[in-house]
């Protein structure tokens, strides 16, 4: 054995100490890495919190988009509308006739407004799914569909447009007017409606028909008009 060659025990001890230092080095790096990530994420969250605290909306949130109301859509007689009795509907009675409007069908963006004629009376049925607000307008001398369209949202509430003037669906208040249009008051009278389940409505009105999406009932459609 050479004189400068370490004893086997000493060599093992040196290797053990080296391994120990490497392990502690990895642990130290891991701890520092976790601490750095925590500090960065905490700083980011504090920054977002300060931004949120400082934000105060200065104006109402207005979303503009246009969708014409559906005009006298196809309806189904009660015997073909195989809906569950607990399905929600909006019920209308006019000119001795009864009609239901399936609420889930009217939740579609392009189906929030139905300009209909029932019993020779023009009635527009409107539904906003965001505020769960259902309103109907018309009656009186209107014997053809009214021209009511959707004009977007204001603070999460539906806006409707009639003759170049935009109104709140809930209140009928004027929201804005097109250039050159006079800000006339809401032109149509409120029309009574009933919120009910399909089972309740057809029990009260056995001869009713219903407006419902054909996609919910397959291809069975039937035109039922006054």
Q: What are the two backbone dihedrals, phi and then psi, of residue 196, each rounded to the nearest 5 degrees? A: -155, 175
User: 71 by DSSP, 3-state: which?
Assistant: strand
Q: What residue spans define the domains of the chain?
A: 1-56, 62-216
Residues 169-187: tens digit of each pLDDT? 999 999 999 999 999 999 9
pTM of the entire structure? 0.70
Q: What tokens appear for 97 in the block?
A: 């006739």
Report the share of the chain in percent with pLDDT over 90.
Answer: 60
State how far the Cα of 113 lies from the Cα of 109, in Å rounded to an integer: 9
Please report which confidence band the pLDDT of residue 111 belongs to, taking 50, 70 and 90 as the band edges.
very high
Alpha-carbon distance 199 to 212, whole Å?
A: 15
Instruction: Name the H helices within the chain.
Output: 8-54, 103-106, 198-204
Burial of 73 (0-12, 13-18, 19+ CB in 10 A): middle
Q: Which residue has 């399909």 as its token pair?
A: 198
Render pLDDT for 9-55 as a digit per residue (tens, 0 to 9).
555 666 666 666 776 666 666 666 555 554 544 444 444 344 334 33
Beta bridge partners of residue 125, listed in sequence order: 114, 136
Torsion of CA 174, 176, 180, 184, to 10 degrees: 0
Residues 122, 145: Cα–Cα separation, whole Å: 5
pLDDT tens digits for 19-32? Answer: 667 766 666 666 66
Which residues neighbour 129 within 8 Å (Cβ) at sequence distance 6 or greater? 106, 107, 112
């Amino acid at each position: 054995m050479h004189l400068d060659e370490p004893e086997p025990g000493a060599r093992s001890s040196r290797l053990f100490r080296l391994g120990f230092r490497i392990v502690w080095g990895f642990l130290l790096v891991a701890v520092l890495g976790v601490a750095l990530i925590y500090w960065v994420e905490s700083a980011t969250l504090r920054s977002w919190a300060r931004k949120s605290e400082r934000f105060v909306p200065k104006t109402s949130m207005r979303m503009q988009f246009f969708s014409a109301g559906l005009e006298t859509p196809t309806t189904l007689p009660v015997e073909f509308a195989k809906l569950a009795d607990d399905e929600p509907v909006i019920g209308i009675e006019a000119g001795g006739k009864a009609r239901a409007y399936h609420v889930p069908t009217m939740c579609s963006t392009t189906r929030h407004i139905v300009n209909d004629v029932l019993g020779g009376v023009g009635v527009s049925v409107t539904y906003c799914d965001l505020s769960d607000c259902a309103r109907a307008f018309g009656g009186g001398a209107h014997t053809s569909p009214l021209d009511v369209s959707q004009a977007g949202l204001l603070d999460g509430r539906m806006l409707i447009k009639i003759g170049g003037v935009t109104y709140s669906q809930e209140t009928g208040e004027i929201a804005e007017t097109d250039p050159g249009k006079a800000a006339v008051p809401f032109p149509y009278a409120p029309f009574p409606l009933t919120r009910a389940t399909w089972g309740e409505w057809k029990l009260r009105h056995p001869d009713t028909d219903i407006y419902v999406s054909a996609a919910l009932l397959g291809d069975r459609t039937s035109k039922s008009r006054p």
